[in-house]
Chains A and B, each alone.
Chain A
Amino acid sequence: MKSRITTAAIGAVAIAALAGCSSAGGGAPAGEEGAFEPSDVRMTVPFSAGGGSDASGRAIASGLEAATGTTITVENREGGSGAVGYSHLFAQEGNGSQLLAAETTLLSLPLTTDVDYDHTSFTPIMKLGDDYTLVVVPADSPFQTCTDVVDAAGGEGVVAAVSGAISLDEIVFTLIEQDQGVEFDRVPFESGSEVIAGLLGGTVQVGSLNPGEVLGQLESGDLRALCSLSEERYEYEQIADVPTAIEEGIDVSFAQWRGFIAPGGISDEARQYWIDAAEQYVASEEYTTYIEENLMQPNAVYGDEFVEYLAQNSADLEAALAP
């Protein structure tokens, strides 16, 4: 009981400080800041404990806890490739104390499966950052550049690993196909680590993986990165010398984003409250650590900007997924 009172006190101080900050920044009217008081905050993670979404959900939750002083309970509601978690949040319309650790499935599921919601059903708060992919091949592969891969795909054929039909790697291979007018043979896997095993064992010739997933094998020399499917080269030193596909004349870059959203129909005060908290989190060291450990791009956007980003990203996805 005592500890709860202390947290509440810290929370009050933090909120006061927060209000001070943002009014100094000149954004929202300071008077309304106190109008939203979160209670029993839940962060839904639409995937099982232990995965990438879980890690980002927990990182965001603890960052927001530090920023706001409220306790945030992380709940894993897995199932239906994320559909169960999103549907849960969809049913919480108007509740400003419910959050969800979102990523690209927010956009891809409504495009491919029969769910009741789409990205406009929610209130986007923050995009945490982007995660691009690297095109990787086994160490002894004859391919030296991504152009080699594309040429071979146009010639004798290339077997590519994809982890699911609406996964990021399926999308990037489709985009390469559309851009270069070639076709890949595909073998479906279910996770990045299975793809790595498939590459090491010689079942597939090429895969597209997040740097964070594959860094261990790159450093050991078992796998090689040919190009990164990002707009610019990575700044992380381990992969800074990997050229982008664009440099090689393949005009493809596609980001998987991570971030968090709130239910639709929440008050403007609640929305602003979480945006402010998210800005504080991004300024913290915890954020930098999370982004660097996962080799992500720290390009956070908030609120309306995030909404625009989602609309654009959804249109890109739709184009890639269209048969």
Chain B
Amino acid sequence: MTLTPRIARVAFSAALALLGIAAAIGGWGYGVTQDNGQVGAGFLPVALGVIMALLAGADAVMALLQREERRAVDELGTLGSEVDAAAIDHVEESPDIDALGRSQRQRNRMLAIVGGMLLVALLLVPLLGLLLSLGLLMLAVAIAVERRPVVSSVIITVIAVGAFHIIFGLLLRVPLPTGLIGFI
């Protein structure tokens, strides 16, 4: 729980900077110009990679020096929106309770669970087919995560899956993968 927004931002920008450098190196290998002197396959990757590394580096440094930066900004009065955004961030960071009485920690866990379920559902597609596994995902999220009543969740899921089967599968003839079961 030490991941403050500032550290996260620095880390993300640093990652982007590294990505930019990697892209520039990869692009160099493709050749910046062609044999005839015209723009080559590596031209944009190198140029954009370098620019991205510079911008991301600048952003990381700015995030690190945020306090000084903000004072300077206030003098110019142009970056008002950023200050607003930062203020909003603060509100979100406080351990508030949402409309359904769930704490931040609970919600973080919910997010992890939904993400995990999503991954499992996609891995199950070759077995169950697309609509069936995504339908199960929908049901699982509604019942296990959102704690909706079982009966109404099942009804909504069946209607949604049915509607999609009709629209995509039958009307638009999209070849939705049916998996090993081969059901819908």
Contacts and interface: CB of A to CB of B under 8 A. Distances in A.
Direct contact between the two chains A and B in their complex (CB within 8 A): yes
Contacts of B67: none
Contacts of B173: 73-74
A73 B173 CA distance: 7
Contacts, number: 5
Interface residues of B, number: 2
A75 interface: yes
A42 interface: yes
Nearest to A75: B175
B173 to A, nearest CB: 5
Nearest to A42: B175
Contacts of A42: 175
Interface string A119-161: 0000000000000000000000000000000000000000000
Interface string A34-77: 00000000100000000000000000000000000000011100
Interface residues of A, number: 4
A42 B161 CA distance: 23
A42 B174 CA distance: 11
A74 B175 CA distance: 9
Interface in B25-52: none
Interface string A70-108: 000111000000000000000000000000000000000
Interface in B158-184: 173, 175
Nearest to A40: B175
Nearest to B175: A75
A3 B60 CA distance: 65
A75 B172 CA distance: 10
A63 B132 CA distance: 34
A75 B173 CA distance: 8
A183 to B, nearest CB: 11
Contacts of A75: 175
B170 to A, nearest CB: 11
A145 to B, nearest CB: 28
A73 B168 CA distance: 13
B34 to A, nearest CB: 11
A74 B173 CA distance: 8
Nearest to B173: A73
Nearest to A323: B35
Nearest to B174: A75
A75 to B, nearest CB: 5
Nearest to B35: A323
A184 to B, nearest CB: 12
A129 B175 CA distance: 29
Contacts of A73: 173, 175
A283 B173 CA distance: 29
Contacts of A74: 173
A92 to B, nearest CB: 12
Contacts of B175: 42, 73, 75
Interface in A4-49: 42
A174 to B, nearest CB: 15
A130 B112 CA distance: 56
A169 to B, nearest CB: 18
B54 to A, nearest CB: 30
A42 B173 CA distance: 11
A73 B171 CA distance: 12
A166 to B, nearest CB: 15
Chain A to chain B: the 5 pairs with minimum beta-carbon distance, closest first: A75-B175, A73-B173, A42-B175, A73-B175, A74-B173
Interface of B: 173, 175
Interface of A: 42, 73-75
5 contacts: A42-B175, A73-B173, A73-B175, A74-B173, A75-B175
